[in-house]
Amino acid sequence: MMDMATFMQHITNGVSVGSLYALIAIGYTMVYGILRLINFAHGDIFMMAAYFMVFGIITFQLPWYLTVIITIVLTALLGMLIEKCAYSTLRDAPKTSILISAIGVSYLLENLSTYLFTGKPRAFPEIAGLAQTFQIGSVTMQRVSVVIPIVAVILGIILLFIINKTKLGMAMRAVSKDYEIARIMGIKIDRVIASTFAIGSALAAVGAILWGVKYPQVQPMMGVMPGLKCFIAAVIGGIGNIKGAMLGGFVLGLGEILLIALLPQLTGYRDAFAFIFLIIILLVRPTGLLGEKITEKV
């Protein structure tokens, strides 16, 4: 059987994967909460952010802290650009049309980056010694594994603060309730939606930077699986709910790692596990773990 040290190592691995999922899932859930739109391009925006890091540090030789800022800004702008071109023009169309447009954007980004950056994987640059390891007892972990949960929780709190306490947040909540009425009430909904996308994409950028430190390989399809997994995490937690997305991310990450740890022969079904888990949650609790409190909706 598994000894304590091995078990603790698995738990550490799980928490670190889970908080990474959580970080990306809050971006998903936020856009959904406000626009009722599953932004399927989220995973690909995430991928583009990883490429921005590679180009900033390796190609242009910029210092890492500058590159991090540039990456977050560029990714936020990319999110706004996508919203402007692909979604804002469809604001009065049925929701399904916007969804299809989102899938289109996703393929566009994947193929564009395959064409521009080739399909070959690039190495993600090392930043600030985050990839180095240290030991607590018999458990070895990377520094980034500690940083990820902290960043995820802090960003989650900041996001909740923005939504619940600021004027922009109030406008966002109004738009999420009914944007027609919000528009009549004098809220500039275009600006509110653009900022939603900017924040959501910036979160994807932070996720991509930490993801890259942990799994230092960048390629055009890298956003597909994390995108789907974090979508699942968001639904498990109750889509539209930020706390739920964080919880969903943790549960999914830990669950996946423990599946591999306890039933190694089922490792090949790791991705299937995520989907089966989703189906079970939807059957038992269709609104997700924390989805019932309507007031929590951003």
Q: Which listed residue (115, 154, 158, 293) binds another protein by CB under 8 A?
A: 115
* Residue 187 vs 261, nearer CB to another protein: 261
Q: How far is the CB of 157 from another protein (least distance, A)?
A: 26
* Residue 40 vs 197, nearer CB to another protein: 40
Position 268 contacts another protein (CB under 8 A): yes
Q: How far is the CB of 12 from another protein (least distance, A)?
A: 8
Q: How far is the CB of 186 from another protein (least distance, A)?
A: 29
Q: Which listed residue (163, 260, 290, 298) binds another protein by CB under 8 A?
A: 260
Among the listed residues 28, 36, 294, the one whose alpha carbon sits nearest the alpha carbon of residue 176: 36
> Which residue type occupies 209?
I
Q: Which listed residue (13, 19, 39, 241) binds another protein by CB under 8 A?
A: 13
Position 140 contacts another protein (CB under 8 A): yes
Return the range that interacts with another protein (CB under 8 A); candidates 67-75, 76-84, 115-123, 155-163: 115-123
Cα–Cα dist 75/254, whole Å: 28
Assign 3-class secondary structure to the chain.
CCCHHHHHHHHHHHHHHHHHHHHHHHHHHHHHHHHCCCCCCHHHHHHHHHHHHHHHHHHCCCCHHHHHHHHHHHHHHHHHHHHHHHHHHHCCCCHHHHHHHHHHHHHHHHHHHHHHHCCCCEECCCCCCCCCEEEECCEEEEHHHHHHHHHHHHHHHHHHHHHHHCHHHHHHHHHHHCHHHHHHCCCCHHHHHHHHHHHHHHHHHHHHHHHHHHCCEECCCCCHHHHHHHHHHHHHHCCCCHHHHHHHHHHHHHHHHHHHHHCHHHHHHHHHHHHHHHHHHHHHCCCCCCCCCHHHCC
Position 280 contacts another protein (CB under 8 A): no
Binding residues for another protein, rule CB under 8 A, total: 61
Q: Cα angle vertex 292, ends 233, 196, to 5°?
A: 60
**In the window 36-55, what residues touch another protein (CB under 8 A)?**
36, 38, 40
* Residue 118 vs 166, nearer CB to another protein: 118
* 292 token code pair: 């019932």
Site string for another protein, 167-206 (x = CB under 8 A): ----------------------------------------
Distance between first and last Cα of the chain: 45
Return the range that interacts with another protein (CB under 8 A); candidates 62-70, 109-117, 167-175, 197-205: 109-117
Q: How far is the CB of 241 from another protein (least distance, A)?
A: 13
Position 166 contacts another protein (CB under 8 A): no
- Using CB under 8 A as the criterion, which residues of the chain lie in contact with another protein when the complex forms? 2-3, 6, 9-10, 13-14, 16-17, 36, 38, 40, 96, 99, 103, 106-107, 110-111, 114-115, 118-123, 126, 131, 133, 135, 140-142, 215-217, 219-222, 224-225, 228, 231, 235, 239, 256-257, 260-261, 264-265, 267-268, 270-271, 278, 282, 286-287
